[in-house]
Structure 1
Amino acid sequence: MGFTQGVPPDIEPAEFNGLPLMERVRIAHTHWVDHGFGTPKMINVIYLVKVLILQIGIGITLATLSSGFNPLDVGSWWNELIVYQKAILWTMLLEIMGLGGTWGPLCGRFKPMTGGVLYWTRVGGIRLPPWPDRVPGTRGDRRSLFDVVLYCVILANLLLAVVLPGVAARGMADQSVVNPIVVMPLVVLLVVMGLRDKVIFIASRGEQYYPAIVFFTFLPFVDIVVALKLLIVAVWVGAGVSKLGKHFSHVIPPMISNTPWVVLKSVKRAHYRRYPEDLRPSRMASGIAHVLGTLVEIVAPLVLLFSTNIHLSIGAAVLMVCFHLFIFSTFPLAVPLEWNILFAFATIVLFLGFPNQDGFGVTDFSSPFLLALIVAGLVFFPILGNLRPDLVSFLPSMRQYAGNWATALWAFAPGAEAKLDEFIDRPAKTTPVQLESMYEPDVARMTLDLTLGWRSLHSNGRGLFSLLMHHLGEDLENYDVREAEFAANTIIGFNFGDGHLHDHRLIAAIQKRVGYAPGEFVVVWMESQPIHKGTQQYKIIDAALGIIEEGYVMVADEVEALPHLPNGPIPRYTTWRAETGGQPTAGRRTADHHAADHNSPSKPTAAHHTMSEPTADEAVSS
């Protein structure tokens, strides 16, 4: 892999593009094993420069100078709570502006590289309220002037909280903290914004930073420190628990393959069972996943939370800092680099700067009742989200990079994808158009299909491709298939692997603006696996017709299938199907078809619904 030149698959682009879909997927994921996305290393350097300048350079400078410290005298401020508070607020500002995760080429964002602020300061764009039928004042999917002003006020409030001097801490007058009066408006503003548009709340990483802001506002000094410890441990342990399933082993091999500093092909291939025939995870990959991943992410944080032995605490802290720096170095898709830097810093500040044995342990919290309330609040969404993933995003569920996400693939009939650019005004064009501005069309298409190869290496990818094969049959080869995470990013300005941001609600909002004919735009969508079940629920969505089929696939079938499905699609078990939803045909647009309710699109009325789950013998075959 060169510094300025990428490494494409070893096949002529025109020849590659003429192959059947699953053969292209096979070539793409075989190439991924050795080269990842094949991006030039210059791209990784750009990401490093972004972190060094925006988060560390500007962020630390503002946080320290505004708190009365010399940014170059690290020893004077590394364990000052106010500096850590401002680091959180600054990182949140970068995230909510679209300058943190989901930025740049590794997220399918080429021109422009930034989404976020370019989208959310424009009146008329698509917004996605979480409960439009239940929360007054949130209906509709159009971004209004009120939404833009509200968003800008949040940006200004976050910046003010960073640059204004602190005040004496409540309960410890010799310590400074961010002024609670300054951050207090954010407690309300972020909730209102989230109810108007869940995309912006998720983009702000509100599931982690919002509780911290609440702590800053209402708690005295010692309680803030203890509550922040509980928060970060809840994130770690929640993520560790979520990795106990069958999906996580499938995350490690493609992540290592895309790591720029792992240059030996033998090391990359060792993470797969038998290159190139069987690209399921090897035993070594599974061991790395569940020992260096799951075990470390559960045990080390609990040690940090309860240990009163400084040497044990230092060892656990070093382990967690290395854990985050390793993830940072792999440049995982969605590139949450700033998040990993902040958590590495938090480990040092909270657990070594404020040791448990010095009066900052859980038992030093001022009120047992309030402590219990905070713990209950921190575990509520992880528990609910793991039991009912349809109700909670995988981020508040604390399932970061566990491989268990809501996911989707988009399939466009010829010419249908171009209608997104024709009818939806936004700062960025579709990903193919962005790539074609830099490469020949054949090269652009081949590059885009590498994302499908990446998806197939994950267990849920086998389920998605199987659903496409079942539903479209022979017509599948007439469709352009896109990874939904990348495609949705160009529509709403953000995606972090959360399929709830591109479910039937987004498809209905797109349909309202474009008016696809039946069969022109088809989506296969799968929910995360509940922790107590071995299934993933799916939906098949036709933009013109709404949801036309529901059912589930078995996770055991997904993890056993080879990534390119040489033995055909895995079974799907249909629990509901619209009578109008048979096999769609790719056709030209003949008339406008708009969803009746673009916020909560209803299923076609002529339908049957099986409430009980069918047996394996009743599985619908293609």
Structure 2
Amino acid sequence: MPFLTPDVPPVEPAEFLTRPRQERIRVLATFWSEYGFGTPKMVHTIYIVKLLVLYIGGGVALATLTSDVGGPFDVAQWWDQPIIYQKLVLWTVFVELFGIGGTWGPLAAHFKPMTGGISYWARPGTIRLPPWPGKVPFTAGDDRSPFDVLLYLACLGSLLLGAFSGGSAIDGIPFAMVDPVLMLVPAVLLVLCGLRDKTLFLAARGEQYLPILLVSSAVGPILTFTDFIVAAKLIIVLVWVGAAISKMNAHFENVVPPMVSNAPFTPRALKRAHYRSLPDDLKPSRLAWFMAHVLGTTAELVVPLVLLFSTSWPITLLAVGAMVLFHLFITQTFPLAVPLEWNILFAYISVFLFAGHFAGDGYGIGDLSEPWMLPVLVAALVFFPVLGNLRPDLVSFLPSMRQYAGNWASATWAFQPGAEAKLNQLKKPAKNQIDQLIDGMGYDPDVAEMTMQMTLSWRAMHSQGRGLFSVLQNYLGDEYETYSLREAEFCCNAIIGWNFGDGHLHDDQLIEAIQRRIGFAPGEFVVVWVESQPIHKPTQAYFVMDAALGIVERGTWLVRDCVDAQPWLPDGPVPTTVTWRHPQYHPELRSPEVTA
């Protein structure tokens, strides 16, 4: 039955795994172009039920029944109430931080168990990743302590406390809102959690929700109600515009075809139309270009600016409808990090802010109570996106507002035969993905291996994947065929409980933390890692790291070379420029010399 069974490549797994690696990537990338990951529709149904019942149903019931604005079905009574907006934000942050929002379930490689999040972050001894361990006092180390667990649970509790609280009357504010203190407390706790472990801040989507919590906490003593609404508008417009600007690159065309191919309800003919000529040419077609840069980038840039400045009611309504459709389109594609809740909330926020508080009715940027507020708000909101695009090594791609841009820090992990199993020695509630499939779900080992190699083909369909596999071929040489390769984002999920495509969560900091606990021998565990492309440079910078020996090579590649290549690199590795090698590096040995 198609509902219960996956679509699978038309090959025999045992024989398939004997083929050369690049041929396997070609077969699986071609399969992906028509079927995506091949996930059974039953899995998508689970996500839909979670979204409708737990997130939307639970969130609306919680927000309305505790706010004296009518019941959940009295939509006309509550859709434009600020307290509902605030509580849905609190509920969303709770769902994300608990671990049942984005990056949940099989589509994010949480096969069994399906939930990471709290099962990792409420457990002492798991790995944590402080963002500035040598600079911020009391954050050094990478072991999760009982204090970290209590801080995390306190943050969850504060989010629920605010969501369950009744409305509070604030002097000078015409609507009941959540008590500003109850918005400030989770904001402070989230920052403290993030300083101890950047994973928690990113998992909560702090770069987008923390500003909302902060402006909510300033209502009354600092901000008028109009200021609050205008600030909230600036926050969401920055997210849209920042994402649009970040997509003005050579990578993004390669994002749309595999994303559309993974959409479970999109006709196969439309999927095929996003590629130039299947099965020989998997480069993006003209349709893919149009989807990326007209319906995607241009719409995400122009429509939000129309929403921000329009005082025409019909135009505003059209723009609101366009952004709602935009987020619903992303939702139905089920992107691999499955940020479904985020997209639904942003669709609602579009309606609440711009239709419920129309600029022509006194909620425009010219209606701020103080002239200094606009430049201060804009400067605060654009600081990290500007810095992150110029220096992506300093800022996660999430605060940089580069979601879905295709310009990601990424990595591929390579294990000598048998070495991958050592990762199960780490203190973590989930086994490696390959073991989840075999032991937890009863997959045949060859089928499980082919399933995991699907993620490699997905990465190869994106520009940075072609660079990663090129460097691996150069570095490993003849051993390239003998190593087990893994998509680092998925491995990271099993080790720290969460990843949203951010390579900064599995860079040398995580590899060093793993090595301290396991002690791989030289050559057993090799990583090729690449940073995002700075907005003003044509190259991406990579490093090769042997877990036992540290970083052994640094270099760059031209983004255009990767974009122009086929996923399976039929013309060989793309050119790379080695800028540094370990002083004891011996090319003929394919690894640095180990010295006492």
User: How much does 1:390 deviate?
Assistant: 0.5
Stretch deviating more after TM superposition (563-572 or 187-196): 187-196
- Partner residue, 2:328: 325
- Partner residue, 2:417: 414
User: How much does 1:266 deviate?
Assistant: 2.2
- Partner residue, 1:428: 430
Alignment gaps of 5+ in structure 2:
none
Do residues 486 (structure 1) and 490 (structure 2) align? yes
1-structure distance, mates of 2:146, 2:239: 35
**Helix, strand or coil: the match of 1:329?**
helix
1-structure distance, mates of 2:94, 2:235: 19
- Partner residue, 2:456: 452
> Structure 1's 82 and 582: CA in aligned 2 closer, same or farther, altered over 3 A?
farther
Do residues 138 (structure 1) and 139 (structure 2) align? yes
2-structure distance, mates of 1:313, 1:604: 65
Q: Partner amino acid for 2:140? A: R
Q: Partner amino acid for 1:297? A: E
- Partner residue, 2:188: 188
Q: Partner amino acid for 1:432? A: I
Stretch deviating more after TM superposition (110-119 or 63-72): 63-72
- Partner residue, 1:618: none
1-structure distance, mates of 2:451, 2:594: 41
* Of 523, 527, 531, the match for 2:535: 531
> Structure 1's 311 and 420: CA in aligned 2 closer, same or farther, altered over 3 A?
same
Q: Partner amino acid for 2:511? A: I
- Partner residue, 1:226: 230
User: How much does 1:24 deviate?
Assistant: 1.0
1-structure distance, mates of 2:552, 2:171: 57
- Whether contact under 8 Å (2:409, 2:530) holds in the other structure is yes
Q: Partner amino acid for 2:153? A: C
> Structure 1's 605 and 418: CA in aligned 2 closer, same or farther, altered over 3 A?
closer
Runs of at least 4 residues off by over 3 Å: 580-587, 603-606
- Partner residue, 1:175: 175
- Partner residue, 1:84: 85
2-structure distance, mates of 1:504, 1:75: 52
Stretch deviating more after TM superposition (240-249 or 19-28): 19-28
Q: Partner amino acid for 1:340? A: N
User: How much does 1:85 deviate?
Assistant: 0.7
2-structure distance, mates of 1:127, 1:209: 22
1-structure distance, mates of 2:266, 2:201: 35
Q: Partner amino acid for 1:76? A: Q
1:30-61 superposed Cα distances (whole Å, 9 cap, x missing partner): 11011100010011100000011121111110
2-structure distance, mates of 1:248, 1:210: 27
- Whether contact under 8 Å (1:503, 1:525) holds in the other structure is yes
User: How much does 1:586 deviate?
Assistant: 9.5
| Aligned ranges 1:113-262 → 2 under 5 Å | 113-172=114-173, 174-219=174-219, 220-262=224-266
- Whether contact under 8 Å (1:169, 1:221) holds in the other structure is no
* Of 360, 365, 370, the match for 1:367: 370
Q: Partner amino acid for 1:9? A: P
> Structure 1's 61 and 374: CA in aligned 2 closer, same or farther, altered over 3 A?
same
- Partner residue, 2:6: 6
2-structure distance, mates of 1:365, 1:584: 66
1:564-586 superposed Cα distances (whole Å, 9 cap, x missing partner): 00110001111111023445979
1:407-462 superposed Cα distances (whole Å, 9 cap, x missing partner): 000000011100010x2021100000001122111111111111111111111111
Q: Partner amino acid for 1:60? A: V
2-structure distance, mates of 1:20, 1:203: 37
Q: Partner amino acid for 1:335? A: V
- Partner residue, 2:42: 42
- Whether contact under 8 Å (1:414, 1:586) holds in the other structure is no
1-structure distance, mates of 2:4, 2:594: 55
Q: Partner amino acid for 2:188? A: V
1-structure distance, mates of 2:211, 2:59: 21
Do residues 580 (structure 1) and 581 (structure 2) align? no
- Partner residue, 1:542: 546
* Of 496, 501, 505, the match for 1:497: 501
> Structure 1's 27 and 71: CA in aligned 2 closer, same or farther, altered over 3 A?
same
- Whether contact under 8 Å (2:586, 2:593) holds in the other structure is no
- Cα root mean square deviation, aligned: 1.5
1-structure distance, mates of 2:95, 2:63: 14
1:299-341 superposed Cα distances (whole Å, 9 cap, x missing partner): 0000000100000000101000000000000001100000000
- Partner residue, 2:29: 29
1-structure distance, mates of 2:576, 2:470: 8
1:85-144 superposed Cα distances (whole Å, 9 cap, x missing partner): 100110010001111000000011110000000000000000000111111111000000
1-structure distance, mates of 2:167, 2:410: 43
Q: Partner amino acid for 1:425? A: K
Stretch deviating more after TM superposition (2-11 or 358-367): 358-367
- Partner residue, 1:273: 276
- Whether contact under 8 Å (1:407, 1:498) holds in the other structure is yes
* Of 558, 567, 579, the match for 2:571: 567
**Helix, strand or coil: the match of 2:554?**
strand
- Whether contact under 8 Å (1:520, 1:586) holds in the other structure is no
**Helix, strand or coil: the match of 1:368?**
coil
Paired-residue identity, %: 57
- Partner residue, 1:510: 514
2-structure distance, mates of 1:41, 1:586: 44
Q: Partner amino acid for 1:225? A: I
> Structure 1's 582 and 93: CA in aligned 2 closer, same or farther, altered over 3 A?
farther
- Whether contact under 8 Å (1:528, 1:536) holds in the other structure is yes
Q: Partner amino acid for 1:493? A: G
| Aligned ranges 1:296-315 → 2 under 5 Å | 296-315=299-318
1-structure distance, mates of 2:371, 2:148: 39
Do residues 475 (structure 1) and 479 (structure 2) align? yes
TM-score, normalised via structure 1 length: 0.93
| Count of matched residue positions in the alignment of Structure 1 and Structure 2 | 588
**Helix, strand or coil: the match of 2:414?**
strand
2-structure distance, mates of 1:101, 1:88: 15
1-structure distance, mates of 2:72, 2:552: 58
1-structure distance, mates of 2:563, 2:590: 31
2-structure distance, mates of 1:166, 1:552: 55
**Helix, strand or coil: the match of 2:404?**
coil
> Structure 1's 491 and 585: CA in aligned 2 closer, same or farther, altered over 3 A?
farther
1:159-194 superposed Cα distances (whole Å, 9 cap, x missing partner): 00000102124432x301111111222232111111
- Whether contact under 8 Å (1:548, 1:604) holds in the other structure is no
- Whether contact under 8 Å (1:519, 1:585) holds in the other structure is no
Q: Partner amino acid for 1:181? A: V
* Of 469, 487, 490, the match for 1:465: 469
- Whether contact under 8 Å (2:6, 2:40) holds in the other structure is yes
**Helix, strand or coil: the match of 1:56?**
helix
1-structure distance, mates of 2:179, 2:464: 45
- Whether contact under 8 Å (1:472, 1:583) holds in the other structure is no
2-structure distance, mates of 1:165, 1:119: 32
1-structure distance, mates of 2:236, 2:475: 43
User: How much does 1:148 deviate?
Assistant: 0.2
> Structure 1's 83 and 573: CA in aligned 2 closer, same or farther, altered over 3 A?
same
User: How much does 1:11 deviate?
Assistant: 0.3
> Structure 1's 199 and 581: CA in aligned 2 closer, same or farther, altered over 3 A?
farther
1-structure distance, mates of 2:242, 2:191: 23
- Whether contact under 8 Å (1:313, 1:351) holds in the other structure is yes
* Of 347, 356, 366, the match for 2:359: 356
> Structure 1's 170 and 309: CA in aligned 2 closer, same or farther, altered over 3 A?
farther
**Helix, strand or coil: the match of 1:396?**
coil
**Helix, strand or coil: the match of 1:208?**
helix
1-structure distance, mates of 2:524, 2:161: 48
User: How much does 1:200 deviate?
Assistant: 0.6
2-structure distance, mates of 1:605, 1:192: 40
- Whether contact under 8 Å (2:476, 2:590) holds in the other structure is no
